[in-house]
Every structure is written in C-alpha cells, then in structure tokens.
Amino acid sequence: MKKFVNNLYKNQALFYKVFLFALTAVLIVYLLPKGGNFKYEIPKGKPWQYENLYAPFDFAVLKTEEEIKQERQAIMNNHTPYFVYDQEIAKAAQTNIAEEVKQVFSDSIYKIRGKKLVDFVNTTLSDIYEYGLLQSNNRLDPSQLIYLRKGNEAYEIPYKKLIKQNGVRELVNAKIEDANLKDFENQLLEVFFNTIEPNVTYDNEFTEKELQSKLSNISYTRGNIEQGSRVIARGEVVEGNKYNILRSLKNEYESQVWSGSNYNWIIFGYSVLVALALLMLLLFIKKYRQDIFENNVKVTFIFFNILFMVILTRIVVNFDINYVYVVPLCILPLTLKAFFDARLGMFTHVITVLLLGFIVPNSYEYMFLQIIAGIVTILTVSELYKRANLFISVGQITLVYIISYFAFTIIQEGNVADVNAEVLLIFLLGGLATLFVQPLIYIYEKIFGMVSDMSLLELSDTNSKLLKELSEKAPGTFHHSLNVANLAEAAANEIHANAMLARVGALYHDIGKMRNPTYFTENQTSAVNSHNELEPKESAQIIIDHVINGIEIGKKHNLPDRVIDFIRTHHGTTTVYYFFMKEKENNEEVEKDDFRYPGPIPFSKETAILMMCDSVEAASKSLKEPTAGVIENFVEKIINKQMEEGQFLNSNITFKEIQVVKKILKRKLKNIFHLRVEYPE
C-alpha cells in the first residue's frame, strides 16, 4: 500500500493529465448530438461521387423551407376572420324602438302617422341588424368573406354586408327618402341614434385559434420513398428534387429512435473519435512542446479553451443554427499564439474544428471555412499587443469568411443572386466578437497565472514603479540592464526566440541589487570599494544574494513567473570567480560550492540568451583596448566557458544558435566601442 501511495505521489502529474484527458473527452461527448450520423456529404450542385444509393427504409420527402414558408403565407392570406353577433342587443333595440318613436314624435303626428312610422323604423331596424352593426371598421376588403357567429352557428358572408357604425346615417337617410318621410328626417334619426347599438365585434381569440390550428396542420412532407428504391445514382447532379430527397433521408436517418444498444454503440464511437483527437494533441505537446507538457497549468489551459469553444458552439447551435458563425472560433489560435506559439495554436485549432464537425450542419463547409480562417489568423497576427495589428487581422479573417461563403454559394446555387445578406452580417458579427480576445487574454492571465506579449509590453515600460525604483537606488545597474536588454532583444530576434520576453527578463534580472547597490561596481561612484572591509566569502555571499533578493522583490511586486525565471537563472550555477580566486590565494582548501550561485541553469532559449548577454556586457567594462580582435576573443572566451560548465544543457538552444548569438554580441560591442575620428587641436 505504501509503495502504491509513493508511486501515486511520484506520478501525480501524469495521473492529473490522464484525469484531465478523460474529463474533457467525457464532457465533449456529452455535448455532441446523440443519434446516427449520415455517412455521406450532400454536395449541393455537384455530382454524386459515391456509389448508387438505395433507400434503407421507407421515408417521407420533406418540403423545402421555402415551400413551407409559402404555404404558411397562403394560409395566413386566405384565412377567414370570425366576428361575433350579439343577439341580445338586437332584441333590446327591437323591443324599445316603438316606445322611442312615441316619445320623440308629438301626439298629433303620432296619431296620424304613428303606424307608418313604427312600421318604417321596425323594417329599417331589421335591415340594420340582419347581419349586425359593426363596432369598429376593420381594414378588410369589402368582398372578403368572413364568418359571422350567431350563438353556436357560423355563417359565411361578405364583409360588406356588415353595417359600419359610421355608415348608419347614410343608410337611414336613404331609407327615409325611399319611404317619402323626408319631413320627419331629424326625428327619425334621433329615434335610431337613441336606440341602436353596435352588436358585432371582431373575435380575435377565435380567429387566431383557427389560424394556428390550420398552420399546425400543415404537412411538412410530400410523397414517400419506399425501401429499396434508388435515391440517386453515381454521377447524378445533386440539385432540385434529388437534393430534397437526400436531405429528407439524412434527416430521417439521424432522427430515428435508437434502441439502447444502438445508443451505447454511438456513444462508444463518439468516445473513440474524441479521445483519438485529444490524444493526438497531447502527443504533439509531449513530443514538440515538452516544457508545456510538464506544466499541468498550461495543459489545463489548452484543454479548457477547447472545451470552452465546444460549449459555446453547442449553445449557439441549440439557440439558432443560423448563427453558428457568430462564435469567434479564431479566438482560440489567437489566444494560444499569445501565450505559446503559432504552431501549437494552429494544431489545437484544427483539432477543435474536427470535434465541432460533429455538432454543426454542413460540416465540410464549416470545417473548410474555419481551418482557412485559422491559417489566416496564424499567418497575419503578429505583435498582438499592437491594437492596429488585431483590427487588421480581424478584417482579413472576416474577408476570408465572406470570400469562402461566396465561393460555396456559387458552387451550390450556380449564381451569386442567392447570396444571403444576413449571413454576411453574421460573419461581421463573428469578426467583431473576435476583438474580445484582448480582454479574454487579460482574464486568462489572472486565472491561470500566465503572461502574454501584452503584459510583457507593459512590463517593458521603464517608467514602471519597479524600474524607476531601480534607476534611483542603483543607477549603474539600471544602465547595465538597459544595455543587456538591447543585446538580448537583438540576439533573440536573430534566432527567432521571444524577443519581447528576453527584453523584459533583461530589464528585471538584476533588481535584487537594490538591496545592497554599493557592493556592485557599476553603482560605486567613489574610489572606496565596500568589499575591502569584508572577507572574500562574505563578499561572494552578498553578490550571490542578489539573485535571492531579486526573486523576493519580483514576487512582492507580482512579476510573472516567466520573468522571475530570468532572475533565477541568469547566473545559472556559475561561481563568483573573482572572490573565489581571492579566497584561494589565502586558503588552498577553499570549497568551490561556497562561491557558486544556487541556480538553476537556464531552461529556455530566452534565459540562455540573457546569461550570455549579461556576462558579456558586464565583463566588457573591463576591456582596456577594445579592438575588433580583442572583442571577438573576449566574447568567445566567456560563452565557451559557460558551455564547458554545461550552463546551456537544459535551454533547448543549438550550437548554431549560440554561434549566431556570439556573432550578434560581437557586432553590437564593436558598435559600442568603435573609435571616433581624432579631431585636430
């Protein structure tokens, strides 16, 4: 048991990676659509390149979206609205109108003409309420048919049959004129306006209910294909009805109800493919990015980004499949390039796109567009910390999306007229969303404790609080750091290392000298040397301590670990040679480890460059006659000694690259120490 625990402890990093790999695979498989995948791509407008396809089962042919849309529009245009007829209002008016006539007309007129007047108003009222008096005038065509509901019965009548409230006066006046009752026009109008009330209203609820019922009964299929029938032959062009039949077959194939055993096999298949893709990524990192593979935080960061993109795409697909290109997938290679390098960013992007191919429709088109956009992202984005570069790159990415979409539309539809402006807008939105990469990188830096070029740019500002403090307390060290930064940046550019990281590391590598600045020769402004009063061993310890002090100061000021690595490694495990030899003069049995820096030795190209530049720049101050030959021998001697001591064994830097660094240092030092023309007195 104890042995097992010890093995578990020793291999905890490996077990964590296995756990992370399994967890990511499970979550991605969970997010993938469940069901069978149609094994053929449907290339609209192109010849069918597979073998003859026969229907594996009976299935219905789906109508196109355009056909369904037209059918829905036709139903809505031809739908008959419903109106409600209130019989109680009509009865009440017929009951009260005779009494109203008696009250409006004088007794003398009523006695003489009463019967005729009552008969007239009853007849007119019957005409008004035959189909009803409409409360409000709806904007309908007069000839349009409507349903008029009286109780439980509904009658189909033209809309013009309904009397509108604003047309009552005109109707009554016409009736009065026909009955030769013009002398009693005002009294009769008063009778009608005091008696009649609208009794027909538009039944919006029932009309909508009937409309929805008709819309829900729309058939989404037209015709059936029997099992064994040939769907398409090899070489036939996939267009028109053939395309619809293939689309219907694919839809039916993927939406069938699967049995438990089939479902389990599908999950197994997905798991194998997802695990295989993630395994390829892990193997790539292990083989070509060993430093990243050994850092669990960095591996977690990469897998988190893949999972984040899968989740985001799945959410958008569930919301509306048409907005799938709004997901700014190019953020993935942008982010990984900012923190790592372009090759890892591209490889991870391709793996992610392959996984997303299981989720999105038209997977070939989607993967083609996204891989091309990812390549453009990697090729165009450089120096992400410059805002203009990001905007230019986003514009190029969006342009590539649009051009590719145009090409696919022409292939599939045969003309440019079918280009959808809404899709172009979606590409623009996706491009704008890509600009979110800068705040996202800042968030990642805080969460995962990593550093990007944008943070390095901020740290390279010599007006920052820590560098200003260094310039005030140890001005000689500050000047030395600036010189080393210039040398390191030039050397890093030449061997394609991270020049910004090398420069920032050089600026901060000696901040530990602020604790005891006068014990370092570059800060001594008088002839008095502080080491004269100390033993060589004590002096050596003060010199060595500037590394430890620098690490403490760096952590106190929240410098990123990548920058603190330069402080930790810029002397590697070399010795403070001057004080070692001084002690050796007095004591033959001196312990060399007492004069040795704690290390570790450099473990990246950038930290190796700093060690070379720091040693050469510092020692160059002792050159009395810096001729070209002296400088070349001087640089060779210092760097060769570091190589003999094995200081670059862990830094992944080649002999050829070291020779290039030497060449740069020689050239730079010659420029620094060049002799001016002697002016005549």
Pairing between β-strand 153-158 and β-strand 200-202 as defined by DSSP bridges:
unpaired
**The pLDDT of residue 277 is above 90:** yes
* Same domain? 465 vs 483: yes
Task: Say how far residue 411 (Cα) sits from the centre of its chain.
Answer: 28
- pLDDT score at 5: 60
Rounded CA-CA distance 48/232 in Å is 8
Residue 102 has pLDDT above 90, yes or no: no
Distance between CA atoms of residues 135 and 155, nearest Å: 19
Q: Please tell me whether residues 512 and 588 are part of one structural domain.
A: yes
Which of 428, 448, 468 delimits the end of a domain?
448
Q: How confident is the model over 412-423, as a mean pLDDT?
A: 70
Number of compact structural domains in the chain: 4
Average pLDDT over residues 241-259: 69
Q: Averaged over 290-306, what is the pLDDT?
A: 90
- Domain assignment of residue 661, yes or no: yes
pLDDT tens column, 505-559: 999 999 998 988 888 888 777 666 777 777 778 888 888 889 999 999 999 988 8
Instruction: Identify whether residues 137 and 266 lie together within a single domain.
Output: no
**273, 370: one domain:** yes
Burial tier of 309 (Cβ tally within 10 Å: 0-12, 13-18, 19+): buried
Lowest-confidence segment of 356-360, 396-400, 412-416, 674-678 by average pLDDT: 674-678
Distance (Å, rounded) from C-alpha 335 to C-alpha 443?
11
Tens-digit pLDDT profile for residues 302-322:
999 999 999 999 998 888 878
Higher pLDDT, 196 or 107: 196
Q: Where a domain ends, among 394, 417, 448?
A: 448
In the predicted model, is pLDDT for residue 257 greater than 50? no
The alpha carbon of 626 is separated from its chain's Cα centroid by a whole number of angstroms, namely 56
- Give the pLDDT band (50/70/90) at residue 387: low
Most confident of 38-52, 104-118, 480-494, 569-583: 480-494
Q: Say whether both 321 and 241 belong to one domain.
A: no
Task: Identify the pLDDT of residue 550.
Answer: 92
**503 or 582: whose pLDDT is higher?**
503
pLDDT of residue 677: 44
- Is residue 97 one of the residues assigned to a domain? yes
Reply yes or no on whether the pLDDT at 463 is more than 70: yes
Question: What mean pLDDT comes out for the span 373-395?
Answer: 76
pLDDT digits (tens, 9 = 90+) for 106-148: 777 777 777 888 888 888 888 888 888 887 777 788 888 888 8
Of residues 290 and 493, more confidence is placed in 493
Q: Mean pLDDT throughout 424-441?
A: 84
More confident residue, 190 or 577: 190
- What is the spatial distance between Cα 560 and Cα 22, in angstroms, rounded to a whole number? 30
Let me know whether 43 and 18 are in one domain: no
CA atoms of 603 and 86, how far apart (whole Å): 92
Location of structure tokens 């026009």: 185
Helix, strand, or coil (residue 15)? helix
**pLDDT band at residue 40 using 50, 70 and 90 as cut-offs:** low
* Same domain assignment for residues 340 and 324: yes
| One domain, residues 607 and 499 | yes
Q: Cα-flanking dihedrals φ and ψ of residue 85, to 5°?
A: -100, 120
Q: Given this model, what pLDDT does residue 381 score?
A: 66
CATH number of the domain at 598, please. 1.10.3210
State both tokens at 353: 């796109």
User: Exposed, middle or buried, 115 (CB in 10 Å: 0-12/13-18/19+)?
Assistant: exposed
Burial of 247 (0-12, 13-18, 19+ CB in 10 A): middle
CA atoms lying within 13 Å on the CB side of residue 540? 23
> What pLDDT does residue 415 have?
66
The whole-number pLDDT of residue 382 equals 63
DSSP state of 463: T
- Mean pLDDT over each residue of the chain, to the nearest integer: 83
Give me the residue label for tokens 């070939």. 364
Does residue 19 belong to any structural domain of this protein? yes
Whether 279 is in a domain gets the answer yes
Q: Is residue 377 in some structural domain?
A: yes
C-alpha dihedral sign at 638, 640, 644, 649: positive
pLDDT band at residue 89 using 50, 70 and 90 as cut-offs: confident
Please indicate, yes or no, whether residues 499 and 640 belong to a single structural domain of this protein.
Answer: yes
| Cis peptide leading into residue 600 (ω within 30°) | yes
Q: What is the model's pLDDT at position 400?
A: 87
pLDDT at 7: 63
Same domain, yes or no: 444 and 470: no
**Position with higher pLDDT, 334 vs 63:** 334
Q: Which of 378, 413, 448 is the last residue of a domain?
A: 448
- Of 265, 267, 225, nearest to 247 by C-alpha is 225
105 within domain boundaries: yes
339-349 burial by CB neighbour count: b if 16+ within 10 A, else e? Answer: bbeeebbbbbb
Residue 190 lies in a domain: yes
pLDDT at 35 over 90: no
The secondary structure element, H or E, covering residue 4 is helix 2-10
Nearest CA-CA partner of 652 in 278, 358, 291, 381: 291
Question: For the chain, how many residues are written?
Answer: 681
Q: Are residues 304 and 356 in the same domain?
A: yes
Containing structural domain, residue 604:
458-672
Q: Are 382 and 264 contained in the same domain?
A: yes
**What are 162-181's pLDDT values in tens digits?**
888 888 888 888 888 888 88
The β-bridge relationship of strands 133-134 and 163-164 is parallel
Residue 679 is predicted with a pLDDT of: 46
How many whole angstroms from its chain centre is CA 544? 48
Q: Which two tokens stand for residue 617?
A: 């720049």
**The token pair that represents 151 in the structure block:** 């109780």
Binned at pLDDT 50, 70 and 90, residue 274 comes out as: very high
Tokens of 17: 């990676």
- 92 inside domain: yes
Asked if 168 and 220 count as a contact pair (C-beta separation under 8 A), the reply is: no
Q: pLDDT for 584-640, tens place per residue?
A: 777 767 777 778 888 799 988 999 999 999 999 888 877 777 777 888 888 899 999
